[in-house]
Chains A and B, each alone.
Chain A
Amino acid sequence: MKELFPAKHVSGFVFSLILTGVALLVYFMDMSFAVGMTILVITAFAQATLQLVVFMHAGESSDKRSIYISVIYGIVIAILTVLGTLLAMIWGYV
């Protein structure tokens, strides 16, 4: 039975629960928007990285370079798109 629950997976799961708990602080505690957003950005990206590396085994095969390039390229373009859209549609309006 024990071999079915490897330490890597279990600790990954516990860590993801902790990150969720930390993110919940922004709901339960009174803090400024900037601090809250910083916490959310950090916990969300940490969670995503955790899933990617621990559970999705992104780095296990010989294609890991292609896989990481593809995912990172996607994330970079995604962030640029979100920020660029906000810049053009909201922040940029004087």
Chain B
Amino acid sequence: MEFFERFAIPHPSPAIYASMVAIALTTIAVVVGLTYFKKWGYLWREWLTTVDHKKIGIMYMISALLMLFRGGADALMMRAQTAVPENTLLDAQHYNEIFTTHGVVMIIFMAMAFIIALMNFVIPLQIGARDVAFPRLNALSFWLYFMGAMLLNISFVIGGSPSSGWTSYFPLAGNELSPSVGTNYYMLALQISGLGTLITGINFIVTILKMRAPGMTLMKMPMFTWAGLITNVIIVFAFPVLTVALAMGTMDRLFATNFFTTTDGGMDMLWANLFWVWGHPEVYILILPAFGIYSEIIPTFARRNLYGYTTMVVSMVVISLLSFVVWVHHFFTMGQGALVNSIFSITTMAIAVPTGIKIFNWLFTMWKGKIQFTVPMLYSLGFIPIFTIGGVTGVMLGMASADYQYHNTMFLVAHFHLVIIPGVVFAMIAGLTYWWPKMFGFMLNERIGKWGFWFIAGGTVLAFFPMFISGLDGQARRMYTYSEGTGFGIWNMLSFVGAIGLAIGFALLVYNIYYSTRYASRDIGDDPWNARSLEWATHNPVPEYNFAITPQVNSSEAFWDAKKRGHKLFKAGYKDIHMPNNSGIPFIMSVFFFIFGFAFIFSMWITVIVSLIAILACMTYRSFEKDDGYHITAEELKKAESELRGAK
């Protein structure tokens, strides 16, 4: 019995017991359903073993949506708890757990997954490539991310959730103040999914540098691909920092080392330092792909080419460098001297300049354009003002002396939500709507989509603007309740109403997917938006080989040139296409990583060693395996292509 006691929840509540039952029932339902409909083979062949970048992108997207709802449920509970003063819906420990998992899930498992989903699906198509450079590693990336996400998500029913904030500052996150295994979950889950992200970074840099269609020089790449390249450069150089920090944190908790302790020379703020050395570039990892998406959508629906292509590229390169030298602004109040704060204040304000340039470029793109108010365009238009408000309040926070007033108040919470939501969430929904026909061959309903937009945009404004006021009035973040006399009640109630608006908006998004899957027309052609870049030059949905003939490119808007200026995209005839074989190794290896992580969290060392050996065995198998893939012959291509054309 003693063995099982470690898995018990330290702070149980009826809600958690209900979740346990719900998880068990869902699992049983899925297993029974798959067996009943005889879908196990299909699932294994088509999804679990796939190395196709399009399917991996779709799996990332589904996972991201699931995580959005997990994190969203946390957010609703937080807003409900603080909606009225002295509320007793949640106790303090519960509230701590919920704001922690909200942050982790939303940043690491929702936003990251969503940007990687769209990069996976779109970038190889935009550069006219067959797939990414390393299709199997791509599958491994996804499964490592997925297993990391699952690991964190079982924490609240097995052993207890992390509760020291998504930043997990020491000494709060140390054993003494966080005795449950929750923080171990945090360390291991982030470690495993971070490994997957690093592999993605390498994979996409090589893909973009080496696999572009003939004629597509670097300065003729579509802007989303440029954003993807810069993002992945930041990923490759930022994520190792997180790896080290997490390893040190894990060792402090499990092996009693003294990195971040308060005794024997340990330095708790070193964690904060390392965390933000990764954490600030991470912000740009999230925002740059979003900038790329807007740079695709705005020209398409303003019917003008992108204003200031070169300045867009230069500003992203500058951002990628500056993003590594601003991190101290997250802890201006640590106690370092004025010189340090001044240096990081200046770099922080400097980074607003390239961002501002991009905003103006989008505005100039729309200047004198014929704007079509489609759903993706609405999100792009909503993004600009809301993001600008979020951004300029960020510059306020970047002034070190003023930051002493704002630090750790709701003002900060308002700032970063007003940057991340329009910056990332709007962009993801816009991108999803925009590329949906590419993925599935039908369009999402515009009417439901517009309703969703107004709920989400309105909800965002209503939920987060009041926090500026309550924050300036002195409401600290992460407080589970407050007294009536503070006067925070009204602002928090408004936020709660806004949060409900957001929830309705997201529910509409899901309803839209359901509705459109059932009723939308499948007869949409290959170019439903009258778009400009190369991904629209192949069929909807995309065949597994992407392009039957490698396209020839001579500008960043190759497809537009082909439509309007008589540029010939497909000059050569059909040739055999080399395809990679599916493989179960990435999935199996990731399952062992999951077991490894779980055993590590609970200090079950024999299982740790066994799963490590299993992981090495998978690598050995892979190393010795001879796998040269297979070919789709020119004959088969010709047949498939004529069928795809005939079906229209």
Contact check: which of A63, A66, A80, A87 meets B340 at CB < 8 Å? Answer: A87
- The B interface is mostly helix, strand or loop, or mixed, namely helix
Roughly how many angstroms separate A89 CA and B277 CA in the complex, as a whole number?
13
Q: How far is the CA of A39 from the CA of B324 in the complex (A)?
A: 28
Give residues 580-621 of B contacting A (CB, 8 Å): none
Task: Tell me if A92 and B241 are in contact (CB < 8 A).
Answer: no
Does chain B have a CB within 8 A of A17? no
Chain A interface size, under 10 / 10 to 19 / 20 to 34 / 35 or more:
10 to 19
Q: How distant is A53 from chain B, measured CB to nearest CB, in Å?
A: 21
**Contact mask for chain B residues 325-344; partner A; CB cutoff 8 A; 1 contact, 0 none:** 10110000011110110011
Q: Which residues of chain B have C-beta atoms less than 8 A from A91's C-beta?
A: 340
Q: How large is the interface on B (under 10, 10 to 19, 20 to 34, 35 or more residues)?
A: 20 to 34
Interchain nearest-CB distance for B442 vs A (Å): 39
Contact of A77 with B by CB under 8 A: yes
Whether A88 pairs with B241 at a CB distance below 8 angstroms is no
Say whether B340 contacts A74, CB under 8 Å. Answer: no
* Chain A CB within 8 A of B237 CB: yes
Alpha-carbon separation in the docked complex, A72 to B343 (Å): 24
**Which residues on the B side are within 8 Å of A87 (C-beta)?**
340, 343
Task: Find out whether the CB atom of B337 lies under 8 angstroms from the CB atom of A92.
Answer: yes
A81 within 8 Å of B (CB atoms): yes
B337 touches A81 (CB 8 A): no
Which of A66, A80, A93 interacts with B336 by CB under 8 Å?
A93
With a cutoff of 8 Å between Cβ atoms, the chain B residues found around residue A66 in the complex are 209
A88 touches B328 (CB 8 A): yes
Complex-state Cα separation, A77 to B577, whole angstroms: 40
In the bound complex, what is the Cα–Cα distance between A84 and B330 (angstroms)? 14
Roughly how many angstroms separate A50 CA and B325 CA in the complex, as a whole number? 29
The stretch that binds A, out of B157-165, B266-274, B456-464, is B266-274
Contact A93 B335 (CB under 8 A): yes
Residues on B with C-beta less than 8 A from A80 are 324-325
Q: Is the interface of A mostly helix, strand, loop or mixed?
A: helix
Contacting residues, chain B, for A88 (C-beta < 8 A): 273, 328, 334, 336, 340, 344
Choose among A70, A89, A94 the residue that contacts B270 (Cβ–Cβ < 8 A): A89
User: Beyond A66-B209, A89-B273, A93-B337, is A81–B343 a contact (Cβ under 8 Å)?
Assistant: no
Q: Is B233 an interface residue (CB 8 A)?
A: yes
Cα–Cα distance between A84 and B324 once the two chains are bound (Å): 10
| Docked pose: A77 CA to B233 CA in angstroms | 11
Instruction: Kindly list chain A residues whose C-beta atoms are within 8 Å of the C-beta of B270.
Output: 89
Q: Which residues of B contact A92 (CB under 8 A)?
A: 336-337, 339-340
Contact partners of B336 in chain A: CB under 8 A = 88-89, 92-94
B237 and A73 form a contact (CB under 8 A): yes
Measured between beta carbons, the chain A residues less than 8 angstroms from B335 are: 93
B residues neighboring A (CB under 8 Å): 205, 209-210, 233, 237, 241, 267, 269-270, 273-274, 277, 321, 324-325, 327-328, 334-337, 339-340, 343-344
Q: Please tell me if the beta carbons of A94 and B237 are within 8 angstroms of each other in the complex.
A: no
Chain A residue nearest to B328 (CB atoms) is: A88
Contact residues in A for B274 (Cβ distance below 8 Å): 85
Chain A residue with Cβ nearest B343: A87
Q: Which residues does chain A contribute within 8 Å of B324, judged by CB atoms?
A: 77, 80-81
5 contacts across the A-B interface (CB closer than 8 A): A63-B210, A73-B233, A85-B273, A92-B339, A94-B337
Residue of A63, A81, A93, A94 near B277 (CB, 8 A) is A81
| A73 and B327 alpha carbons, distance in the complex (Å) | 18
Give A63 to B211 CA distance when docked, in angstroms: 13
A89 pairs with B237, CB closer than 8 A: no
Per-position 1/0 for A27-71, Cβ under 8 A of B? 000000000000000000000000000000000000100100010
Q: Which residues of A contact B205 (CB under 8 A)?
A: 70
| Distance of A91 Cα from B337 Cα, bound (Å) | 9
Distance to closest chain B CB from A20 (angstroms): 27
Name B237's contact: one of A63, A74, A85 (CB within 8 Å).
A74
User: What is the CA–CA distance of A63 and B321 in the complex, to the nearest angstrom?
Assistant: 22
Distance of A87 Cα from B327 Cα, bound (Å): 12
Complex Cα distance, B327 from A94, in Å, reads: 20
6 more A-B residue pairs beyond the given contacts A77-B321, A84-B325, A89-B270, with a C-beta to C-beta distance below 8 A = A81-B277, A85-B273, A88-B328, A89-B267, A92-B336, A94-B337
Interchain CA distance A74-B233 in the complex, whole Å: 10
Closest-by-CB residue of B relative to A76 is B321
Closest chain B residue, CB of each to CB of A93: B336
List the 7 closest pairs (A to B, CB-CB), nearest first: A92-B340, A92-B336, A94-B337, A88-B328, A92-B337, A77-B237, A77-B324
> Which chain A residues numbered 3 to 39 have a C-beta less than 8 Å away from chain B?
none
B87–chain A nearest beta-carbon distance, Å: 39
Q: Report chain B residues within 8 Å CB of A94.
A: 336-337
Contact A85 B277 (CB under 8 A): yes
CB distance from B362 to the nearest CB of A (A): 28
Q: Report how far A34 CA is from B223 CA in the complex, Å.
A: 47
